[in-house]
Amino acid sequence: MAERKLDNATYDAWNKKAIESKLVIEGREEAIAKVDELIEVELELIGSTAIEDRLQENVADTINFMKSVGIKVWVLTGDKIETAMNIGVSAGLLNDQMPQHIIDEMDQASL
């Protein structure tokens, strides 16, 4: 996820092109992508998200790099606690030096 602050004039000019690109009959996807490329520049990274069931190569290295440059890494999972912790260690998210907060039951009255 990334963001960029736009003034109204910049947005209005881009939005006009975006609307026009969506009306193209042939090559619509390409036209839309071309217009999107105009606005998707000078973005500031604010976060990322992913859904994946298997641990891919270099995940631990990538996560450790992100943490070393000050990017906060959070994980929310519905897995069993043991599974989540094993994956967290394998992915470099958890280690023996960090505090861990485990919530294993929901208060049904608060829902």
Residue 32 in contact with residue 22, Cβ under 8 Å?
A: yes
Q: Residue 100 pLDDT > 80, yes or no?
A: no
The pTM is what? Answer: 0.47
Give the CA dihedral 37, 39, 28, 21, nearest 10 degrees. Answer: -140
Confidence of residue 28 (pLDDT cuts 50, 70, 90): very high
pLDDT tens digit sequence for 55-65: 677 888 888 88
Domain extent listing, the chain: 2-44, 49-110
What is the rounded end-to-end Cα distance, in angstroms, of the chain?
29
d(CA 4, CA 41): 8
